[in-house]
Structures are given as structure tokens and as C-alpha cells.
Amino acid sequence: MLATLINRNALEALAGGTAFQRGEEYFAVGAVGRLRVQGNRVFAKVEGTETYQVELRNEDGELAGDCSCPRAGDGYFCKHCVAVGLAWLNEHGSASPSSDGPGRKSAKAKRRNPWKDIRQYLETQTSESLIEVLLDVAQRDDRLFQSLLLKAERTHGGGNAEKAFRRAIDDAVQTRGFIDWREVGTYAGDIDQVADSLSELLQPDSAAMLVGLAEHAIEKIENVMEQVDDSNGEIGGIVRRLGELHLKACTLAKPDPVALAERLFRFEASLPFGLSSFDAATYRAPLGKKGLQRYRDLAEAEWQKIKPRSDDKGYDAHRSAITRIMERLAEANGDVDELVAIKAKDLSSSYRYLGIAEILDTAKRHDEALDWAERGLKAFPDRPHDGLRDFLVTAYLKRKRNDEALQLTWIQFEERPGLEPYKKLHEVAGKLGIWPVQRERALALLGQTITKEATSTSRWKPRPSTPNYSLRLSIALWEIDLDAAWTAAHQGMCDRSLLITLAGKLEKDRADDAISLYRRVIPAIVEETKNSAYEEGVRLVRRVGDLMKTQKKLSQYGDYLAELRLQFKPKRNFIKLLDDVTRSMTLAK
């Protein structure tokens, strides 16, 4: 939850003192635009030298930020991100003095609230002067102009209001070329503004109009999504909001259920991205019995045109949409046999058989489930889906068919030696009480595979290569066998992240070994020549310093810093970060 991640201390820790102070200034002068909260994400515009698009989000339990400014592009948590964080705190009432730490006054205590001052000023003005101010601003702010125009048209009523809304939707959605990530915030803001105006139509006298307008907006947006980079999900969030408005408007307006069913089915079957749900279960209330039956009739008529297939002919969007509709109808009815029959119309991969087996297994029809799984394995004996084999392994173990379970698990490891197949082998062999023997066999096979890959040559690999022991190292780390991990790390090349992980585990009892691993990976990191790599490299340099300090080897650490300075002298940004390390070391003496 954002409420547990966003606080003043967290923002200052991420941004640093200088950027945090500048962010406070941006927030204080009202540079942050309206916040849009979608789940665990916050979006806003910040007015600076340019208009910057900012996003704050929960990233694996940590606060993360993105901004279209150059500093954020270099990987820093910038002042604009700080400003948006403070604006979020202000709206949610979390920016209290207690959150600022002892002896420190909050931003609210230090500065007057500019919005409060503005409100107090406006309350003293006449209506005529306020109208003049508003009209003047509307001439320079297209979004405000559109919002006021739609309010005015709605007040006048009649067909002109609907035409004005449709025109506003069309203008906001029109792309005029591809919209990349730097422009999508502004684009989304324009559509969101129209969605705000549409939400005002959720009233008894205008709900019927809202039904048609929401459908028009959703269809328009769906048809331009190929021209928009919506990797942050802003547009998708707006479409889902429009879908919620549409459902509420249908419930309020009670449109003809048969006509509604026909439109809903068309949308669910044809809209390319399916950003909002138009399935029958979602609209059960406004559809009623007549609408639900019409929806089903349309689906079944289209389903009859779908031919069974047993081989993969590529993705078919129409087939996929109709199948999804039929599956949802069957799920809503709780009809397992109907659902199995629907899925059985496409047996083009072993994964399809797995889906049927899982449905039957959930319904406690275990023998039928096993039969379908075995049929899938027989139909696709050459590299079937691992999930299907895992399903069979579980089923075989329950039935004491232990040899078959072990064999299927071994096949996965032999086909693709890796940590996950190794874990599966450990689990199955452990249940059978034969893990030590199977472990030796697995590690022997892994050693042979590593050697074979290193010594093999081809047109693209004309010479033998250094053996890659990354997998052996990852297995040793999983088994918490640090001696085996250390050996693997020195038998050949290894993935850098694994070496760093190993070093971290060695710090407590084998500090010298940890230092040697850190020193081994740091040069390769710095050679990537980008600020994020420099920061990672310096973080590890500091770890080396901490370890050497505990060993009372600060003079040797100073020599090491000098070596790095000489080796990477041309990389000025790295040297600047290294200077901070040197200053910290000097102060610590």
C-alpha cells in the first residue's frame, strides 16, 4: 500500500537532501497538477522548466518513481517525484509534524497553504469578476474550456449536449501518430478530463445518454491503442473507469435488455484489447433474463461456427474471444461438463489438455483428470508442457506410481538442466527417500553438460569457451552449501549477481573471501559506463570498505580506492561518486 511507503523520511532518503528541498519548493508553489491514483500507482504532472510526467508506485514493497525529466532518466529519484509524493501526503492527511522526526517542523507548519489563501481571496470576489477570471483562464486552458463547454451543453439539454460530448471524446482520443511514453501522460490527461465530465451524467435524467457515450468512448479508445505506448497502464485504467460508469448507467437507465445484450456481445467479441469487461456475468442485473438469454443465443450461434482443432495454427483473435465468452457463461452456470466440452474444441497443445485436467481435478473428478493429462502426454510426447508433467507427477505419487513420477521429473531435468527442475527432482526424490543418490546423479549430469557446452564448437562459436558454472553456483546457494558455492565460483565464469549474492553470504564468517568476490565484479560493473552501474559499483566499493574497516585495514582500503581512481580516471561520473567514498573514509578516521 502506498500509505505505508510514502512519507517525508522515505522521500528524502530516496532523493537526497538537495533534491528533497527542491521538491518541497515545487510542492509549495503548487507546481503539482491533479493526482490520479490507480491501485498502487500515482500519476501527476509537475510544471517546471517543462511539463513533466511523474509516476510513483509500489515496486515489490519499495517506493519507486519515474519522471520524464533528464535526471530521472539517469536513474535518480528526482525533485519532481518528491513534489508528487508530498502532494499525495497532503491529500491523504499524512504530512503531520510527527512524520518529520523529532525537532523538525513539517512543511505544513513552515509554509502557508497556497490553496487556502486562494480560496479565501476568491470568496471575497463578486460573481461577475469570478466569471471574467474563469473565462480568461479557459481561453488559455483547453481542458478547462472543454469542461465548461460540456457543463454548459448539459445545462441546455437536448441533442446538442450529446453531440458536444461525442465531439469532445473524439478530439481527446484522436492520436495523430504514435504516442510514446513521454507523451502518454498528457494524452491520458485529456481523456481523463472527458471521463470526469462523463461521470457527471450519472444521474437519472442523463444516465441513458451516458450509456451511449461511454460505449462510444471505450470503442474509440480500444481502436487506437495500437498507436499508444500504455506500458504504465494509464489509458487502461481510464477505460476500466469508463466501463464502471457504463455498468452503473445501465443499472440506472434500464435500457432495452435485448438491444443491450447485442451491443455487449459485440463489444466483448470484437474489441481488440478487452480493457473493460462486457461479459454477461458482469451485466447480469441490467440484462435480466431476456438479456442474458439473448447474449447466450448470440454466443452459441457464433460458437457453432468454430471448428475443432488439434494442431496449432497460430493465434486467432476471434476464436479466442468467442471461446472466452463461452467459458465465462459455463463458469457462471457452474457447468463443468459444458466447460470441458468448450475447452475440448481446441486440443492444439499439451497445455490445453492440462487446462481440462485441472478443471476436472478441482471438481474432484480425479480419474477423469488423470485420463485427460495422460492423453495430453501421449498426443504431444515431444517436449510437452512442464505443467502437464508436474500434474502427472503429483497424480502418480498419490497413486504410488513412484517410478513413473520420478521418470517424468528426471526427463525435465535432462531436457533443461536448471535450478527449478533441480528443485522438482529434490522434492520428488525426497518424498521417495532416495534424494542423496539422485542428487549425485543430477550433479554429475550437470558437470557433463557444463563441460560439453564449453568444449563444443560451431559456426557461431568457432573456439571452446570458458565453462559457465552459474547454474552450479545457484544450486549451491539454494542448498546453502557455501563451500560448494565458493568452488563453483572459481571453476569458471559465473553470473555476476550470483557472485554478489555469494559475497553477501560470506561477509560474516569469511570476510576476505567476500572482499575478493566484490573486487572481482566491481570493474565489470563500472565498465558498463552508465550512472546506474556507477552507483551499483560504488555501493559494492562501500561494502568492501565496511569489511576492511572491521578488519582494521583502512590503509589497504585507501590503496584500493587509489587503484580504482587510476583505473577508471576517464569515467568522471564514477570518480565523483568515488570522491564521496573517499571523503566518508577521511571523516571516519
Indicate whether 102 pLDDT > 50: no
Indicate whether 258 pLDDT > 90: yes
For 275-300, letters b (16+ CB in 10 Å) and e give: bbbbbbebbeebbeeebbebbbebbe
Q: What is the pTM of this model?
A: 0.70
User: How far, rounded to the nearest angstrom, does the alpha carbon of residue 504 sit from its chain's CA centroid?
Assistant: 28
Res 97: pLDDT: 39
Question: What is the average per-residue pLDDT within 491-503?
Answer: 96
CA angle 507, 536, 523 (to 5 degrees): 85
User: How far, rounded to the nearest angstrom, does the alpha carbon of residue 166 sit from its chain's CA centroid?
Assistant: 32
Nearest to 80 by CA among 122, 32, 129: 32
Res 137: pLDDT: 77
Using DSSP's 3-state secondary structure scheme, residue 269 falls into helix
Q: Give percent above pLDDT 90 in the chain.
A: 68
Nearest to 51 by CA among 190, 223, 245, 197: 190
Indicate whether 393 pLDDT > 90: yes
Name the residue with higher pLDDT: 464 or 105.
Answer: 464
Grid cell at residue 265:
456481445
Residue extents of the structural domains in the chain:
2-121, 134-255, 507-588
For the ranges 98-102, 381-385, 408-412, 522-526, the lowest mean pLDDT is seen at 98-102
Nearest to 187 by CA among 70, 56, 53: 53
pLDDT per position as a tens digit, 417-437: 999 999 999 999 999 999 999
pLDDT per position as a tens digit, 539-576: 999 999 999 999 999 899 999 999 999 999 999 899 99
Grid cell at residue 123:
470568496
For the ranges 57-71, 252-266, 335-349, 391-405, the lowest mean pLDDT is seen at 57-71
Question: What is the average per-residue pLDDT within 336-352?
Answer: 96
**Helix intervals (H) in 17-158:** 17-28, 70-73, 79-91, 107-110, 114-122, 127-140, 142-156
pLDDT per position as a tens digit, 441-489: 999 999 999 999 999 999 898 999 999 999 999 999 999 999 999 999 9
Spatial contact of 63 and 5, defined as CB atoms under 8 Å apart: yes
Res 158: pLDDT: 57
Res 30: pLDDT: 86
In 358-470, beta strands by DSSP E: none
Res 366: pLDDT: 97
Q: Give percent above pLDDT 70 in the chain.
A: 94
Res 24: pLDDT: 92
Indicate whether 589 pLDDT > 70: no
